[in-house]
Amino acid sequence: MPIATPEVYRDMLDRAKAGSFAYPAINVTSSQTATAAIRGFAEAGSDGIIQVSTGGAEYLSGATIKDMVTGSLALAAYATEVAKNYDVNIALHTDHCPENKLDGFVRPLLKASEANYEKYGVPIFQSHMWDGSAVPLDRNLEIAQELLAICNKLDVVLEVEIGVVGGEEDGVANEINDQLYTTTEDALKTVEALGLGEKGRYMAALTFGNVHGVYKPGNVKLRPEILKECQDAIVAKYGTDKGDKPLDLVFHGGSGSLPQEISDAVDYGVIKMNVDTDTQYAFTRPVADWMLKNYSGVLKIDGEVGNKKQYDPRAWGKEAEAGMARRVIEACENLRSAGTHK
C-alpha cells in the first residue's frame, strides 16, 4: 500500500487508542533495515511506523556525507516505492531531535513537506519528534507550540517528550535518576500549552523510568502507573470529552521491559512504542552466524578464492532481513497490533 496519508495515519492512531493496542515504531538506518521492518509489519498483519533518528539519517545519506535531511528524504523516497508492494499501512516518522539539531533536521524537513503538501496535498513525513527533554519544561513547550502550529497546517503529527529518558542513544546521554519520571504537574502544563487536539494533534512521550540501551528484563525500574495518574489528572481538570485517556502516549526505552509493564502502558494510553536496540541485534545476529558458519567461503584464506555465493551481500543480507522481520512480528504481538490491519 502507499505510505499512509495524514487521514490514514490519524485513523491508525485512533484505532490503536480505541482498541488498546500500540504500533511498534522501528528505527531504520538503511534501505535494507527499512525493507525488513515493512516486511515484518506485513507478516504480522499490522500497520506500523518506521522512523529515523538524527544519526540514522546521517548514515543514510552516506558515511562521508552525514547530511540528515538528505538521508531522511532518501529514506522517504525509498519507503514510498517499497511499501506499495505490501498490504499494510506504513507511516514515516523522525525520532529524537534536540534543540541544537532542529535547524538541520526537523525544520528543513517541514519546509520540504510544505512544498510537497502544496504540490500533492500530503506531507513527506507523517510525524516528527521534538525532544525537549534536555531543556527546562517552559522552553520545551515554547518550542513545541511553534512546531505544532507548523505541523498542524501540514496535517503532520508532532511528538514531544515530557521528562527524561535515561541511558544513551545517538550520542545523547542522560543520567538514571528521579528525572526519569514525569509528574502530573508536567502533564497538565503540557495540555495547557498544547491543548487536546484543537491546536493540532500531538503524541506525548511521558517518562516513567524509561532507559535507552541494552538491559536484561527486570533491570529497568518502570512505573507505568504514572501514565494513568497523568491521564486521570487531565480528565479531572478538563472533563471526559476526550475519553478517559485524553493523551496519545509514546513508550521510549523499552529494552528490558517486562511483558506486564508493556501491557499496562498500552492500557494507559500508549499507542506507539519505539523499538531500536532489539531490532539492531535481530538484524546483526544472523550475519554473525552466517559469517562463522561460512568462514572459509566468505574469506579468501591462504590464497584461495572463497565462495562467491557465500560472500555475496545478498546471501547474508537476506538472513539479516528475515531476522529483523521476525523481531518486528514479535513486537507487534507484544503490543497487540498483530492482525489489526483492516
Task: Give the per-residue pLDDT at 258.
Answer: 85
Flag whether the pTM goes above 0.85. yes
Length of the chain: 342
CB under 8 Å to 215, separation ≥6 — which residues? 255, 256
Task: Give the per-residue pLDDT at 78.
Answer: 98
A 10 A CB-CB count for 211 gives 26
Q: For residue 254, count CB atoms less than 10 angstroms from its CB and return exposed for 0-12, middle for 13-18, buried for 19 or more.
A: buried
CB burial readout 287-314, b (16+ within 10 A) else e = eeebeeebeebbeeeeeeeeeeebbeee
Residue 132 has, within 13 A of its CA and on its CB side, a CA count of 23
Task: Give the per-residue pLDDT at 12.
Answer: 98
Active-site residue, 47 included? no
* Residue pLDDT tens, the chain, 342 long: 999 999 999 999 999 999 999 999 999 999 999 999 999 999 999 999 999 999 999 999 999 999 999 999 999 999 999 999 999 999 999 999 999 999 999 999 999 999 999 999 999 999 999 999 989 999 999 999 999 999 999 999 999 999 866 444 454 444 444 567 899 999 999 999 999 999 999 999 998 887 655 545 555 678 899 999 999 999 999 999 999 999 999 998 776 788 999 999 999 999 999 999 999 999 999 999 999 999 999 999 888 899 999 999 999 999 999 999 999 999 999 999 999 998
Q: Are 238 and 188 in contact (CB under 8 A)?
A: no
Task: Give the per-residue pLDDT at 174.
Answer: 46
Catalytic residue among 14, 47, 95, 267: 95
